[in-house]
């Protein structure tokens, strides 16, 4: 399970997602640094894609990597949004087939949510084989066909909030709506992060299927208004960032003056980006055998949970410590 929260309103779209990947059957924690947010620009729109359901397929590929594969091999994101949605839907149907055959229709459920800006309007699209936008019912078994649902702004109901995977509490959803009506995008983002964190720490004492550490993106109506980052519980040494296709995004480093822009124009993809001010070299290194950059993620010596090297503390032990001290 994952937790994503994606509010859209006339001035902004925010996507927040947790980073935990658990085994499809056993539910064991595989990693706490799975990137579940993809930010993109296509021929007639720009937006963010989050997902829930399959964490990784039989080849170890995550749904974020499925999307990058479509960008790499078919230049899919150079095309129109309707082409992107159609192709991602078809690709998802094909990828779910063997998982459905092997693990059954209950395990083979998946949803992609797209929050997009198209002609100045914020629009939500859902591709799923078990749930639909504006409908709280979920099918216990995923269907063979993946269908699309859309949620447009309407007069008097221009704010929409969608959460897929583990659902946030009504109080936290209300707090997000209030922040949209009365406060800044930064406050909306903080409320979304809190909602995910409450789910992570509300279940199995931080050892459940949702991590307390999140990645986030804020997008304005123009494609140059994209900010993203990594909210690490307890603080960290830098930021591991969502993936980018055909678009640039700015990562703030705290305060109001320090930031860095990452990514670029059409044809450019950024994956596994890391932005750090200090000790960055201890977090990742180039592995000459694998011929790729490897991010260190040793297991915590106390609880055994994967502990990304960018995190100052183990988020599970931090939760246990706080509760031992009687803190909230
Ligand atoms: Zn630990």
**pLDDT single digits (tens) 15-58:** 999 999 998 878 889 999 999 999 999 999 999 999 999 999 99
* Predicted TM-score (pTM) above 0.85: yes
For residue 16, give both structure tokens.
């927040």
290 versus 7: the higher-pLDDT residue is 7
Look at residue 26 in the predicted model and tell me its pLDDT.
80
Is the confidence at residue 327, as pLDDT, over 60?
Answer: no
Query: How does pLDDT run across 254-300, given as a tens digit for each residue?
Result: 766 788 899 887 889 998 888 876 655 577 778 888 887 788 899 99
Q: Is 246 left (phi over 0), alpha (psi -120 to 50) or beta?
A: left
Cα of 213 vs centre of ligand 1, distance in Å, is 14
CATH hierarchy code of domain 3-276: 3.60.20.10
Ion ligand 1: protein residues whose beta carbon lies under 5 Å: 300, 302-303, 305, 314, 316-317
**Mean residue pLDDT across the chain:** 91
Higher pLDDT, 193 or 264: 193
Q: Ligand 1: distance of its center to the CA of 112 in Å?
A: 31
Token pair recorded at residue 219: 């997008």
Q: What pLDDT was estimated at residue 287?
A: 84
Report the separation in Å between the CA atom of 313 and the middle of ligand 1, taken as the mean of its atom positions. 8
More confident: 282 or 150: 150
For the chain, the structural domain boundaries read 3-276
- Residue pLDDT, tens place only, 228-250: 999 999 988 888 999 999 999 99
**pLDDT higher than threshold 90 for residue 301:** yes
Task: Please check the confidence at residue 187 and state whether its pLDDT lies above 80.
Answer: yes
pLDDT given for residue 54 in this prediction: 95
- Residue 324 pLDDT level (bands cut at 50, 70, 90): low
Give the relative orientation of helices 185-202 and 170-182 as an angle to the nearest 10 degrees: 170
Question: In the prediction, which pLDDT does 255 show?
Answer: 67
Ligand 1 centroid, distance to 63 Cα (angstroms) = 27
Taking CA 185 as the corner, what is the angle to CA 179 and CA 186, rounded to the nearest 5 degrees?
95
Q: In which region does residue 119 sit, left (phi positive, over 0), alpha (psi from -120 to 50) or beta (all else)?
A: left
For the chain, what percent of residues have pLDDT higher than 90? 73
Q: From ligand 1's centre to the CA of 186, what distance in Å?
A: 30
- Give me ligand 1 centre to Cα 29, in Å: 12
């Amino acid at each position: 399970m994952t937790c994503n929260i994606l509010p859209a309103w006339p001035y902004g779209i925010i996507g927040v997602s947790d980073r935990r990947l658990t085994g499809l059957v056993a539910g064991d924690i595989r990693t706490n640094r799975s990137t579940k947010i993809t930010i993109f620009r296509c021929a007639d729109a720009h937006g963010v894609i989050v997902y829930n359901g399959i964490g990784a397929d039989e080849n170890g590929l995550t749904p974020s990597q499925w999307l990058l594969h479509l960008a790499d091999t078919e230049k899919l994101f150079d095309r129109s949004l309707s082409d992107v949605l159609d192709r991602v839907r078809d690709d998802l149907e094909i990828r779910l087939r063997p998982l459905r055959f092997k693990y059954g229709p209950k395990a083979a459920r998946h949803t992609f949510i797209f929050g997009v800006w198209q002609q100045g309007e914020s629009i939500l699209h859902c591709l799923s084989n078990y749930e639909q936008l504006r409908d709280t019912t979920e099918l216990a078994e995923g269907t063979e066909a993946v269908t699309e649902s859309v949620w447009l702004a309407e007069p008097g109901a221009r704010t929409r909030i969608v959460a897929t995977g583990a659902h946030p509490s009504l109080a936290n959803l209300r707090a997000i709506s209030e922040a949209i009506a009365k406060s800044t995008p930064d406050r909306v983002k903080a409320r979304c992060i809190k909602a995910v964190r409450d789910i992570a720490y509300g279940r199995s004492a931080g050892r459940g299927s949702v991590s307390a550490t999140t990645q986030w993106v804020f997008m304005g109506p123009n494609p140059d208004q994209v900010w993203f980052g990594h909210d690490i519980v307890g603080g960290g040494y830098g930021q591991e960032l969502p993936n980018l296709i055909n678009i640039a995004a700015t990562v703030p480093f705290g305060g109001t003056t320090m930031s860095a822009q990452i990514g670029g124009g059409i044809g450019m993809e950024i994956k596994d980006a890391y932005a750090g001010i200090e000790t960055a070299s201890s977090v990742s290194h180039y592995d000459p055998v694998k011929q790729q950059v490897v991010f260190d993620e040793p297991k915590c010596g106390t609880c055994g949970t994967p502990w990304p090297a960018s995190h100052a503390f183990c988020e599970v032990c931090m939760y246990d410590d706080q509760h031992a001290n009687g803190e909230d």
